[in-house]
Amino acid sequence: MQREALVVVGGAQGSGIETSAIILASALARQGYGVLSSREYYSNIVGRHSYIHLKVSATEIPRSLSYPVNVVAGLDAESVFAHFDDLAEGGFLVYDTGVSKARLAQIASMEPETRAAVSVKLKSLGAGDTVESLVSTLESMFKVEPVGLSFNSILDVLAHKTGMSKSEVQRFRNSIIVGAIAGLMDIDQGALSYSVDRRFGKRPKLAEVNKALIFGVMDDVKGSYGTPLKLENPKLGLEELLLVSGNDMVAMGKIVGGLRYQAYYPITPATDESTFHETFESLKVDGESLGSIIVMQTEDEIAAVNSAIGAALAGVRASTSTSGPGFSLMVEGLGWAGMNEVPIVITYYQRGGPSTGMPTRGSQSDLLFTLFASHGEFPRVVVTSGDHLEAFYDSIWAFNVAEKYQVPVIHLIDKFLANITVTTPLPSLSRVRIERGQTILEVNSKSSAWKRFDKSDTISPRPVLGSGAVTWYTGDEHNEWGHITEDPRNRLEMYEKRWRKMELMDSEIPEEERAVLHGDGDFLLIGWGSVKGPALDALRRLESRGYRGALLQLRVFSPFPSRFVSRVLSGFDPERVIDVENNIMGQAALSVAMNTGFKVRKYILKWTGRPIYEMELASGIMEILEGGKSRVVLSYGK
Amino acid sequence: MASRLTYRTDVWIDWCPGCGDYGIVAAMQKAFSELSLDPASTVVVSGIGCSSKTPHYIYANGVHTIHGRGIAYATGIKLANPELTVVVNAGDGDLLGIGVAHFAALGRRNLDITIILHDNQVYGLTKGQASPTLRKGEKTKSLPAPNIQDPVNPIALALASGYTFIARGYALWIDHLKELIKAAIKHRGTALIDVLQPCVTYNDIYTADYYKERLYKLEEDPRWDPIVSSNTIDEVEDKMSKALSKALEWEPRIPVGVFYVNPHVDTLEDRIAKRNPLFTVKPPARQPIARNNGEPLIGLEEFKKLFSDYIIKVVK
């Protein structure tokens, strides 16, 4: 029995592999395993190749993904051609024998560049260009165990049993995959049954058919192949857990944090968060509404951010969620919020740029953009999250900091985190507090003019619109009353008053919250965001080989924790400090240099739009530590 | 700092002497006074340009935003606290040029706010370029050559976009404009007042004399009835068509007054309240988000109930 397993499930976009993944993940979670499941897909509705990459562990909540995998399960021939070399020696290839004769050249949905690369691989193995030829090559060369199932025969039986037509049963194809994987892993039937009900609870008929199919395939596969991937009993010790994506986690955080206005314009990979808010807009608990979240789908991202700023002026916790192209449109509004000291939160899910780039793939290439976006100088907060729980707490923290310091906060995450579904413990809410700083919801002296930008202190009391005070705001430089003035003395003082908030935040927000040093050793990785998981796992892998290193996880880039970071860096040989990022510039390293004067010399970078995998990061580190390289470019992944 | 009764502030008004904006501000102040608006519960929002300085000259909350986006700010303000009276002042370039996406989208929502469009056919603050309402072939003072773009018709655009109160006023007919502003604010739904105004510095075509010779009031015709009363499709179409044909009139006579009113369309606030009645009972801005000790209103117990679909209980 093994401690963990890695699985790839591939199929055409729209064919239901996501459902397969949810059913498998929630069944495994039900049994108490830790699961992490990532989704790779094209910007396409139907037909392009997509896949789920899933890791299960009996001992911990997985933090990263890796290759090779124990199972590749393909709904179609393309998945077999695309992922056969992701499979470990002795791994299992689940495929449809109905596509045995399919040729690589016939797969129209495969991009020509990919097809050419696969063709080269097939030739180098001496395999023919059909699925069956490839399967027998894998079997003989790599001891791969082919689990060939005739999907059509299975579905014919299903049609016969249920009275459904041949076309109706087609939509159950992905349950064959679930059954096969569940058989190989010996997933508990009760857990699977729970999982199917959870997915199809409102459609019991559909649930029953799925169960019958899954259990049938499961039994057949067990009968023929045994349960070679049965995992050890789970030792996580959790009684209940969340099964959530990064989008879900941010949404939950904002809701707990008191979100009342969310504006958005549809964009991948941000929109799922807003859809979540709309689902929970009435905040109904035991039939009673605890509040109302206004979710506005606006005409563009410009309206999204600016209406959120308006809502914040009126005293609600307001935010917008977007990705790169949307944020590009928001930057003028960001400046107005900075100038007028308005607390707003912008959740920014990075994807591959520039321009439309790779809209459904991940990246970390917008860090510097968020730090410098909009003209002029004004205080802002840029916070990044390394995993789902961090994303939850950071979403609340973002509102608190925004209101306490009256600044725009950019919560920078990425597609990887957004689309990774993971089992995670329930957040602890006992230490969560709502801090609204100098926000005044009601003033005593009604209808009196108020010095909104009172210079007597760095943070001026902020009576909201509707509080009873009369206030003025303008994007022009203004006096204490919020009226326009270009007087140089006022400019000197007001500009500095705003900027002092940066210094205030830097002195009040503990540096240990803004950067975290994980572990110790004689080399140091610098990383941020979703690099955290693979970095920690790569360090653990290397430790077992006698290399001990630490990770400096940068959490808040503005205000940057300069003293803490300098202190950490001074403890390492500069030649053994390695920056790890999903971009080409080494943007976090540039930020470190700007704030501490430390010039990073070693880089491990990836910009293919696919996540950094643990094994490639571990070998990248070795290439630097032992191979004398100063820059390693990673590229694994389909 | 200012007087509540007159809705005036002591900020020196830096418009050109004779600017139509003075008339618009005066009409607003009179209207606010006659409606007894509480300055603290009223928000004047603007974009960028000469006219967008308006909030600084009115004793009420003022939000002077960025070019073209006043409507977006107003939307957030109104939805966060629907008890506020929200008026947007902006120029023709602001609302019909850079901000036209918001101008059109607002009609789809019928949010209960008022838009006062300062329509002088030029970009004043940048020294007299053609605005989206200047007609093709016209050459105002500082244009090097006649305008080669056709104008947008604000009344027709508002009709097509779904505005439920559409009027046109004239900046120098202050009392007439005041009445339009009062009616617009009282109307439940999105209201537009297209205010024609001379730009004394850059517009040498649409001068006070030009308007004096051509303007007439729609209400002078006793048969003119712009208000949808029965809300049948036929009546709506009929009233919209009549409003449109009035909107197309320009030479030799230009109509001002109320073009179209449909009080029967539900507002965005109504639509939201239908989904969640709490929205009107207690506006978002007045909803508590924390308990007295600062703990979030959604504690662990509420969290578990709210998000139960995302929670899996482990079975040993």
Chain segment A144-197, per-residue pLDDT in tens:
999 999 999 999 999 999 999 999 999 999 999 999 999 999 999 999 999 999
- How many Å apart are CA A58 and CA A176, to the nearest integer? 24
The per-residue pLDDT for range A60-86, each reduced to its tens digit, is 999 999 999 999 999 999 999 999 999
Structure tokens at A581: 């990022």
Indicate whether B1 pLDDT > 60.
no
Determine the Cα angle at A582 with ends A577 and A584, to 5°.
80
Q: What does the CA dihedral B32, B35, B38, B39 come to, rounded to 10 degrees? A: 0
What's the CATH superfamily of B2-270? Thiamin diphosphate (ThDP)-binding fold, Pyr/PP domains (3.40.50.970)
Hey, how many other C-beta atoms are within 10 angstroms of the C-beta on B83?
12
* B284:A257 CB<8 A: no
Residue B227, helix vs strand vs coil: strand
- How many Å apart are CA A79 and CA A20, to the nearest integer? 15
Q: Looking at beta carbons, which residues of chain B come within 8 Å of A481? A: 1
B105 has a chain A CB within 8 A of its CB: yes
Mutation choice for A interface testing from B45, B57, B61, B269 by most A CBs within 10 A: B61
Structure tokens at A393: 């707490």
Determine the Cα angle at A138 with ends A133 and A141, to 5°.
115
Count of CB contacts below 8 A, A vs B?
267
Structure tokens at B93: 């370039």
Please report the ipTM that was assigned to this predicted complex.
0.98
- How many Å apart are CA B57 and CA B63, to the nearest integer? 12
Mutation choice for B interface testing from A426, A473, A476 by most B CBs within 10 A: A473
> Strand locations in A185-307, DSSP E?
240-244, 259-264, 284-285, 288-289, 294-297
Hey, how many other C-beta atoms are within 10 angstroms of the C-beta on B135?
16
Indicate whether B168 pLDDT > 90.
yes
- How many Å apart are CA A100 and CA A74, to the nearest integer? 12
> Strand locations in A255-306, DSSP E?
259-264, 284-285, 288-289, 294-297
The per-residue pLDDT for range A98-133, each reduced to its tens digit, is 999 999 999 999 999 999 999 999 999 999 999 999
B66 has a chain A CB within 8 A of its CB: yes
Segment B207-216 mean pLDDT: 97
Bridge partners, A580 (sequence order): A604
What's the CATH superfamily of A4-225? Pyruvate-ferredoxin oxidoreductase, PFOR, domain III (3.40.920.10)
Indicate whether B159 pLDDT > 60.
yes
Whole-number pLDDT of residue A194: 97
What is the longest distance spanned by two Cα atoms in chain B?
Answer: 89
Class of domain A514-634: alpha beta
Q: Looking at beta carbons, which residues of chain A come within 8 Å of B101? A: 299-300, 302-303
* B40:A281 CB<8 A: no
Determine the Cα angle at A111 with ends A108 and A115, to 5°.
85
The per-residue pLDDT for range A504-531, each reduced to its tens digit, is 999 999 999 999 999 999 999 999 999 9
Whole-number pLDDT of residue B4: 52
Residue A179, helix vs strand vs coil: helix
Mutation choice for A interface testing from B9, B73, B87, B316 by most A CBs within 10 A: B73
Q: Looking at beta carbons, which residues of chain A come within 8 Å of B270? A: none
Segment B220-240 mean pLDDT: 96
Q: Phi-psi region for residue A545, left (φ > 0), alpha (ψ -120 to 50) or beta?
A: alpha
Distance from CA of B211 to the nearest CA of A (A): 33
pTM above threshold 0.95: yes
- The answer to whether the CB of A536 falls within 8 A of the CB of A36 is no
The per-residue pLDDT for range A399-425, each reduced to its tens digit, is 999 999 999 999 999 999 999 999 999
Whole-number pLDDT of residue A427: 97
Structure tokens at B302: 């509420």
* Element of type H or E holding A328: helix A324-339
**Residue B268: pLDDT band by 50, 70, 90 thresholds?**
very high
- How many Å apart are CA A627 and CA A621, to the nearest integer? 9
Structure tokens at A24: 């498998």
Position B73, amino acid? Y
A261 has a chain B CB within 8 A of its CB: yes
- How many Å apart are CA B130 and CA B149, to the nearest integer? 9
Q: How many Cα neighbours within 13 Å face the side chain of B85? A: 18
- How many Å apart are CA A468 and CA A459, to the nearest integer? 20
Residue A330, helix vs strand vs coil: helix
Handedness of CA B158, B163, B167, B169 (dihedral sign): negative
Closest to A310 (Cβ–Cβ): which among B40, B48, B75?
A: B75
A239 has a chain B CB within 8 A of its CB: yes
Q: How far is CA A192 from CA A59, A179, B315, in A?
A: 20, 9, 12
Whole-number pLDDT of residue B316: 80
Q: How many Cα neighbours within 13 Å face the side chain of A121? A: 18
The residue whose two tokens read 């894998």 is A138
* A241:B312 CB<8 A: yes
- The answer to whether the CB of A118 falls within 8 A of the CB of A81 is yes
Q: Looking at beta carbons, which residues of chain B come within 8 Å of A198? A: 312
Question: Which one-letter DSSP state was computed for residue B16?
Answer: P
- Do A4-225 and A514-634 come out as alike in CATH topology? no
B60 has a chain A CB within 8 A of its CB: yes
Indicate whether A301 pLDDT > 80.
yes
Q: Looking at beta carbons, which residues of chain A come within 8 Å of B296? A: 256-258, 396, 429, 432-434
- How many Å apart are CA A608 and CA A583, to the nearest integer? 9
Residue A368, exposed/middle/buried by CB under 10 A (0-12, 13-18, 19+)? Answer: middle
Residue B224, helix vs strand vs coil: coil
Mutation choice for A interface testing from B32, B63, B94, B102 by most A CBs within 10 A: B63
- How many Å apart are CA B244 and CA B153, to the nearest integer? 10
* B76:A472 CB<8 A: no
Bridge partners, A605 (sequence order): A581, A633
The residue whose two tokens read 């999903």 is A582
A313 has a chain B CB within 8 A of its CB: yes
Q: Which residue of chain B has the CA closest to A427?
A: B300
* B297:A281 CB<8 A: no
Give the domain ranges of chain A: 4-225, 244-425, 439-508, 514-634
Using only C-alpha atoms, chain B has a radius of gyration, in whole angstroms, of 22
Bridge partners, B44 (sequence order): B62, B87
Whether omega before A269 lies within 30 degrees of 0, making that bond cis, reads yes
A444 has a chain B CB within 8 A of its CB: no
CA A626 to chain centre: 32
Q: Looking at beta carbons, which residues of chain B come within 8 Å of A191? A: 315
List Cβ neighbours of A204 (8 Å cut-off, separation of 6 or more).
none
Structure tokens at B27: 């009409």
Mutation choice for A interface testing from B312, B313, B315, B316 by most A CBs within 10 A: B312
- How many Å apart are CA A262 and CA A296, to the nearest integer? 6
* B304:A31 CB<8 A: no
Residue % of chain B over a pLDDT of 70: 99
A73 has a chain B CB within 8 A of its CB: no
* A310:B45 CB<8 A: yes
* B73:A299 CB<8 A: no
- How many Å apart are CA A202 and CA B205, to the nearest integer? 68
Architecture of the A244-425 domain: 3-Layer(aba) Sandwich (3.40)
| B 219-278: CB under 8 A from A | 272, 275-278
- Angle of helix A246-256 versus helix A271-279 axis, rounded to 10: 50
| Mean pLDDT, rounded, of chain B | 96
- The answer to whether the CB of A420 falls within 8 A of the CB of A246 is yes
Closest to B76 (Cβ–Cβ): which among A289, A311, A473?
A: A311
φ, ψ for residue A41, nearest 5 deg: -155, 160
The per-residue pLDDT for range A602-634, each reduced to its tens digit, is 999 999 999 999 999 999 999 999 999 999 999
Q: Looking at beta carbons, which residues of chain B come within 8 Å of A436? A: 290
Distance from CA of A626 to the nearest CA of B (A): 44
- The answer to whether the CB of A9 falls within 8 A of the CB of A40 is no
The residue whose two tokens read 């789908």 is A297
B73 has a chain A CB within 8 A of its CB: yes
A331 has a chain B CB within 8 A of its CB: no
List Cβ neighbours of B267 (8 Å cut-off, separation of 6 or more).
B110, B111, B112, B188, B189
Closest to B279 (Cβ–Cβ): which among A292, A396, A465?
A: A292
Whole-number pLDDT of residue A630: 98
| Mean pLDDT, rounded, of chain A | 97
Mutation choice for A interface testing from B274, B289, B313 by most A CBs within 10 A: B289
Handedness of CA A233, A237, A240, A246 (dihedral sign): negative
- How many Å apart are CA A442 and CA B11, to the nearest integer? 26
> Strand locations in A300-378, DSSP E?
317-322, 345-350
Segment A586-592 mean pLDDT: 98
A36 has a chain B CB within 8 A of its CB: no
- How many Å apart are CA B310 and CA B273, to the nearest integer? 27
Indicate whether B266 pLDDT > 70.
yes
Hey, how many other C-beta atoms are within 10 angstroms of the C-beta on B34?
12
- How many Å apart are CA B36 and CA A514, to the nearest integer? 51
Distance from CA of A342 to the nearest CA of B (A): 12
List Cβ neighbours of A171 (8 Å cut-off, separation of 6 or more).
A16
- How many Å apart are CA B138 and CA B148, to the nearest integer? 8
